[in-house]
Chains A and B, each alone.
Chain A
Amino acid sequence: MENGKIAIPSNGQGGLDGTRAGHFGHCDVFTLVDVENGEIKEVSILQNQEHVQGGCMVPVNLLSDNSVNALIVGGIGMRPLMGFKQVGIDVYHDDQRAEIEPVVKDLIAGKLTEISNDQVCGGGGGQM
């Protein structure tokens, strides 16, 4: 990624040195990373909203409204995945690492793959 804004579902206060939340709909905050010319330009925090059954489109609209281009998840349900795709947010997958910074750097370097439709899970989340 040369330019854009990356969102990472995060635990606690988030931030580049924080840890990723395994269930994106229930994460505490989203860590947002602005990328310019392939470099991290700014890191900010976006508070998540309450998650209720069927409320999968709330975080989709929240991230869309905040001009996010890419999301990194450990897992995701079919409806939010389709929602993100339909609002133009690319969804990338890493279910191995709990730390935020290395997956962000891998996305910028083009080393993360987009999640496929057959990798979706129930519950809108996944395990890392």
Chain B
Amino acid sequence: MANILLVSQEKTVFKKIEPAFSKDKTTTQWVDSAQKALSTLSHKKFDLFIISEELPDMTGRKLIEKALFQDAMMNSVVLSQLPHKDFHEAYEGLGVLMQFPLEPGMQDIRNLMDHLDRIDKIAGETNSLKGEGN
């Protein structure tokens, strides 16, 4: 089961990727402000949130910072038109998985799934050399 929280002023920005969320074992919830997102996160656990960089009450960056205090394990994706290098500089410390365009499409979802699979694979490759004392 994957729970995804979508945060944007207009729900239509997610129109092209809605089919990806209709699959089994995926639930989505959309809210139109950062405060509503934080309120939702305070009582429900999500695996991923996809947020607009510009929200009516807070920047996307500030929302991620606040959300990390509640659950650092939740992955995040940001809809942003920043150049890739600027985006990397602005968000890497916050552990953002990926940058999406302002209106993401199905290829963006496929890229996200590939990236999540890669992280899952790395996480499964624990290679402990514990015991090699110095």
Contacts and interface: CB of A to CB of B under 8 A. Distances in A.
A22 interface: no
B97 A54 contact: yes
Interface of B: 65, 68-69, 71-73, 75-76, 88-98, 115, 118-119, 122-123, 125-134
Nearest to A31: B134
Interface string A22-61: 0000000101100000000011111101101111111011
A57 B73 contact: yes
Interface residues of A, number: 41
Contacts of B93: 77-79, 120-124
Contacts of B115: 52-54
A82 B69 contact: yes
A58 B119 contact: yes
A45 B98 CA distance: 31
Given A55-B122, A77-B92, A78-B93, A46 B129 contact: yes
B95 A124 contact: yes
A29 B129 contact: yes
Contact of A80 (B76, B95, B129): B95
Given A44-B130, A86-B72, A50 B122 contact: yes
A4 interface: no
